[in-house]
Each structure stands twice: as structure tokens, then as C-alpha cells.
Structure 1
Amino acid sequence: MKSNELLLDAFGRIRETVAATLRGLDDEALSRRPAGQGNSIAWLIWHLSRIEDVQVSAPAGLEEVWTSHGFAGRFKLPLPQDDSGYGHTSRQVDLVRAPRELLLDYHDAVHRQTVKFLHGLSDEDLDRVIDTSWNPPVTLGVRLVSTLADCLQHVGQAAYVRGLNVAQG
């Protein structure tokens, strides 16, 4: 298996879990926050999609799907256009509300751009340094694995919150 095939499989699993987590949920379930202060499913799916979008588009030399496909306007969030959710306060988490279809449409569009980029990667591409502000400098491979780890954690959290919602009826 080539490295890009492994990455394609991993990002595909995120996409599958996003779709399964969102399936059949209404707006109330999407915005419900565990214990009134945890992250909602809507926020978690939006955030992980923004993270994948930001972290893959930059090294790919592409515009973020968020802006290039008009999702910033479609979501109409009362947040700065470049906001990805990093460091959000509880009040900001409450501002992220969106219907299931929009969350899935955005994630799917991000996933398609990620897949297109990953298809063209060679093993040598993964060694390319893309961020020299860290010591050691960050390579494309490290950035992709970091993005995967973050997105997998958040989609797992969203699936857990879904289970809490179902258990609470």
C-alpha cells in the first residue's frame, strides 16, 4: 500500500463516520450540548470540517472550500469568515448552528478536495517542509497525520454526543 492510499483510507473513515453520526438528526439534537456546556454535534462536525479544509488546502495551494464554494455565506455564522473554531468560548460554540444537510454538504465538499489532493501525492511529497515556525519544521506528512488525529477525535466526540442524545430520548 502506498502512503497516499493509507491517507485516503483514513480520511474516508472520517467521512463515513460524519455521515453516520449526522444520519436522522434534527436541529435540536445537533445543537444540544452535553451537560449544557459540552460541544454540540453541529459545532464538532463544523469544526472538524473547517480544520480539514484549512490544514489540507494550504499545503495543496488551494483556496479553502469554505470560501471557494460559498459555504461561509451559506452557514451565515456570526463569526469571522476565517474562524475555524479553535479556542472557541462556550458562547461561540452556541453560535454554530446548522442543519444536518448543510453540515454534510460542507464536509463532503472538503472531503472531495482532500481526496483529489491526496490522489496526486507521492511518498516523497510527504517529506516536504510546509511550516518552518516549529522546531523541528513541520512536513506535509506530519501535518496530514496531525489533521487526521484531530478530526478523528472530534468525529468520535460527535458520535459519543449522538449516543448521549439517543439515550436521553
Structure 2
Amino acid sequence: MTSADLLVDAFGRVRESVHATVKGLDTAALTYRPEEEANSIAWLIWHLTRVQDDHVSEIIGTEQIWTSGGWAERFRLPLEPYDTGYGHTSEQVASVKAEAETLLGYHDAVHAQTEDFVQSVKEPELARIVDENWDPPVTMAVRLVSVIEDDLQHVGQAAYIRGIYERTHA
């Protein structure tokens, strides 16, 4: 198995988990927050997808799918186009509302770009520095693993919230 194969598998697992978590939920379930300061499923899925879109697009050197694919217009969120959700207030979290189809459509578009890219990654490229704002500077390999780790944590949180919602709204 190559590094590219491993990356494809890892990002594929993220996609599978996103679909399993969101599938069949209505807007009430997607926007449910177990407490006032908690994140919703919609916000978590939107955020993990925005971060993946932001980071992978930066590595590739392309415009984000969020803007190039018209997703910002489809979501119609009261947020700046560059916003990925980092540091959001409770009010901003509450403003992220979307249908399951829209969340999954955006995630699938970002996943397709990510998969196309990581399938072509060669071992030496993984050592390329992609962010010099850290000490040590961040390599492509570290950035991609970081995105996978962040995505899996957030989709796990969303799945947990789904379980709470289903137990309390049955």
C-alpha cells in the first residue's frame, strides 16, 4: 500500500462517516444543540468540510470548492466566504442551517477534489513545506494527516449528537 492509497482510504472513511451521520436527518435534527453553547450536526459537518476544502485547496493551489462550486450561494450563510468556522460564537454556530442533501453535496464535492489530489501524490511530495507559519514548518503529509484527524473528531462529535437527539426525540 502506498501513501496515496492510505490517504484515499482515510479520506474515504471520513466521507462514509459523514454520510452515516447525516443520512435521514431533517433540519430539526441537523440543527439540534444539546445545550446552548454546543455545536450542531449541521455546523460540525459544514465546518469539517470547510476546513478540508480550505486546507486541500491551499495545498493544490486552487480556489476553494465553497466559492468555485457555488456552495456559498447555496448555503446562504450570514458569514464571510472565507469563514471556516474557526472560533465561531454560539450565535454563528446557530446560523449554520442546511438540509442534509446540501451538506452531503458540498462534502462530496470537496471529497472528490481531495481524492483526485491524494491519488496522485508521490512520496517525495509529502515532504514539501506547505505552511511556514509554524515551528517546525508544516509539510504536506502533516497537513493532510491533521485534516483527517480533525475531520474524524468532528464527525464523531456529530454522530454523538445524533445519538443524543435520537434518544431524546424518539
TM-score range (shorter-chain normalised) is over 0.9
What is the alpha-carbon distance in structure 1 between the residues aligned to residue 6 and residue 15 of structure 2?
15
SS in 2 for 1:24: coil
TM-score (norm 1): 0.98
CA distance in 2, matches of 1:133, 1:100: 36
Q: Distance in 1 between matches of 2:153 and 2:4?
A: 21
Equivalent residue of 1:83, what SS? coil
Matched, 1:24 2:17: no
Deviation, 1:98, is 0.5
Aligned partner of 2:143 in structure 1 is 143
Letter in 1 for 2:37: Q
> Percent of aligned pairs with the same residue?
56
Q: What is the CA-CA distance between 1:35 and the residue it aligns to? A: 1.9
Paired residues of 2:131 and 2:138 also in contact (CA < 8 A) = yes
Give, as a single letter, the amino acid of the residue that structure 2 aligns with 1:79. Answer: L
Partner of 1:115: 115
Structure 1, unmatched stretches of 5+, are none
Matches within 5 A, 1:19-168: 19-168=19-168
Distance in 2, Cα, partners of 1:35 & 1:92: 15
Q: Which runs of 5+ in 2 are unaligned?
A: none
Tell me the number of residue pairs that the alignment of Structure 1 and Structure 2 aligns. Answer: 169
Deviation at 1:144, TM superposition (A): 0.4
Which residue identity is paired with 2:18?
Answer: V
Query: What secondary structure sits across from 1:82 in the alignment?
Result: coil
One-letter amino acid of the counterpart of residue 166, structure 2: V
Question: In 1, Cα distance between the equivalents of 2:24 and 2:122?
Answer: 38
Tell me how far 1:110 sits from its aligned partner. Answer: 0.2
Letter in 2 for 1:11: F
* Pairwise CA distance, 1:101: 0.3
TM-score (norm 2): 0.98
RMSD: 0.6
Indicate conservation of the 8 Å contact 2:129/2:138, yes or no: yes
